[in-house]
A and B are shown apart, each in its own frame.
Chain A
């Protein structure tokens, strides 16, 4: 017994500093492998535009997942994001189309509503010490319910600001292009990266996720951090909602049903531990891309129903959660 522990020690030591990168590296390898397989099997799969399309088609999911990353890093969860996306899209459509409000007023307003709803949920979670699961579940019902009170039917958008933004294509060298929403999403990712790694708020997020009790005893602002991550998630959901509006050009109560689960899946597949304290926003980007590639492959396959996406995502989630356990066990 003792001999094995001794022989493992140097290996464990060498791995020790880098262990937290393993899940993200796993996701990256998976992404590359899937792209390779797709390229070999389907003609026209391997092109720059296909990669860019991943960003274009999943821009809103990416933004929502970035917000979710903050929450999960503290060890929490936010189930309200899908409903907040739907509510934001609904508000955009309703205020602009039915009330004629200018989009440049509506969009900041929607973002503010998302931020405040997140802040409110964060405050309830922290000060009443209630599980985030329950509080954000309530938030989810609330936001989804509000959608129905606004309109039972889909409201389509014909406002020129929205349609122009939606159809805007930014050309890249080599005949490639991206949409405005993809640019916004990448911008959000970059900001999130800087916040998480170079600001006190970001480091406090990791500290709270690592050990909330310790963070408190170390004199870190746990209350402010907890509320901030839900506020950030609320803001990102609203932002994702605006991007979603650009994508769909309509508001509808049944938009983005189950999006919260896609976002959580992307974060987990991206290597962030559900227990908090470990993970990277770039991992989340990889997670979103993996989900996108699965979708693309199934589209290319042609014969498979789109529900296969769900099945594959489910299996992947199981694998990644098991992987987290294994790594966690080794650390202990």
Chain B
């Protein structure tokens, strides 16, 4: 294949955002008639690369070549006109228009300025037939399943002569049959000579449909390989990598913590076959007093989805919850908070902190919400609490009037933690609490988790870094492709390699 001319190629692409090198010297090649998987963890630079390829961003250095000639797209529309179409995870079509219209709008057949509906519908039907899709083209798109909408988006993209089709996580909300249908379309397009760039977090899907794979990590290209020469385990290892420095510095932050908590007491929370369609397959999970349960898995494996179910942020459509022995329904975050559950979201900025408020206001928020607005916290008590947690969590600067937006990532994380800690929860859910913060802050947050669990708090700890999960957890649950595939006691047999193997290939038989 290398002798062939690449249809889309980048040479030495650099892209910098304030404070981050999003892409460093990336040479990427996409050939006609191949399905090429682009893999990488969060922040690896996948979406930046796609945006550079489609003209949403301009590269700081390097060139993009289409069919061997350098191009400079000014936007997705121009890229599309040159034959590079993108279908995003969120379907970018109009749900209120019919299927036929979504395919044809903007290029309708007209006579004297009036749209010829019959001819347009026929064109849409023909296109859909080409991919063995049997649809009522007059039905509004919104009445179709997400999978069908996704397929319609692809059909619209290839209705004009497309040379390159970029699919950005098209399968993240589809079920198995729908994925197969999508893959049928992908394979057919490949046979027709279209080059397809496929981004997905589902390892099995990558192996099912791709010919070659490119792995990015921290903005650099790690490898470009035919998929059959890269075993599952190797792929996962290359995606995650190991931050050696981090490991060395944190080596003795906390001892390894095998063993389980007292099993006679009812667990703080027990989920019995809880699941949500399109989000996570039904799973069992119990967390006891003083226990840290780690959730491991790749990005998109359902880690956050599990946390959101336990916090009532998403409503489970199957299964039962038991809180300290009492059956309950966690319908809303309010119910979860009343049940003593606290949730630190991975998106500190959008789902956690209110950046334009002060440290004090952010810390007090959850406690005040629990009391209700009719019972404001007395000023003295408020100052005392804020003071105590600023000191305890070493928030710096220790100035309660500081706006949260001006704090570093690590300090923001501590403010968020403080907010939930003062409500004295029985279960603390931490979703990626150490992401994007410096090493020192990381170690401190880890120490805090250990001391909280020693005081009897139950903790669900979610992290992309396996070493961190292994160091802190009593038990580790592994998620893979939105299924909880394994739950193990964290003893000496459990190693990062063993977890990697589970992530790569499913539970041990």
Q: A residues touching B (Cβ–Cβ < 8 Å)?
A: 1-2, 13, 16-17, 19-20, 194, 197-200, 203-204, 206-207, 209-211, 213-215, 217-220, 277-278, 331
Contacts and interface: CB of A to CB of B under 8 A. Distances in A.
B143 A16 contact: yes
Given A16-B143, A17-B143, A331-B142, A203 B93 contact: no
Nearest to A13: B143
Which of A1, A218, A220 lies at the interface centre, i.e. has the most chain B CB atoms within 10 A of its CB?
A218
B149 to A, nearest CB: 11
B108 interface: yes
A328 to B, nearest CB: 10
B222 interface: no
Given A199-B113, A217-B76, A220-B105, A1 B317 contact: yes
Which of B94, B108, B113, B317 lies at the interface centre, i.e. has the most chain A CB atoms within 10 A of its CB?
B94
A20 B108 CA distance: 23
Contacts of B391: none
B95 A211 contact: yes
Interface string B66-109: 00000000001100100000000001111111000100011010
Contacts of B143: 13, 16-17, 19, 331
Contacts of A204: 105
Interface of B: 76-77, 80, 91-97, 101, 105-106, 108, 110, 113-115, 117, 136, 138-140, 142-143, 156, 317-318
A199 B106 contact: no
A298 B93 CA distance: 46
A203 B115 contact: yes
Contact of B140 (A20, A199, A200, A220): A20
A198 B95 contact: no
Contact of A215 (B76, B94, B139): B94
Nearest to B317: A1
B346 to A, nearest CB: 24
A203 B136 CA distance: 19
Nearest to A211: B94
A277 B115 CA distance: 19
Contacts of B95: 210-211, 277
B275 to A, nearest CB: 11
Nearest to B110: A200
A17 B105 contact: no
B114 A206 contact: no
A203 B92 contact: no
Given A17-B139, A200-B106, 9 more contacts: A203-B105, A203-B108, A210-B94, A210-B97, A211-B93, A214-B94, A217-B92, A277-B96, A331-B143
The 3 closest A-B pairs by CB, nearest first: A16-B143, A210-B94, A210-B96
A20 B97 CA distance: 11
Nearest to B138: A17
A220 B97 contact: no
Contact of B92 (A20, A199, A214): A214
A199 B136 contact: no
A290 to B, nearest CB: 24
Given A218-B106, A331-B142, A206 B92 contact: no
Nearest to B144: A16
15 contacts: A2-B318, A20-B140, A197-B115, A199-B115, A200-B115, A203-B108, A206-B94, A206-B96, A210-B94, A210-B95, A211-B93, A211-B94, A217-B77, A218-B106, A219-B80
A199 B114 contact: yes
Contacts of B140: 16-17, 19-20
A206 B94 CA distance: 9
A203 B97 contact: yes
Contact of B96 (A1, A198, A209, A213): A209
A206 B115 contact: no
A215 B106 CA distance: 10
A278 B101 CA distance: 14
B81 to A, nearest CB: 8
Contacts of B110: 200
A317 B212 CA distance: 58
A8 B118 CA distance: 32
Nearest to A221: B106
Contacts of B318: 1-2
A139 B318 CA distance: 53
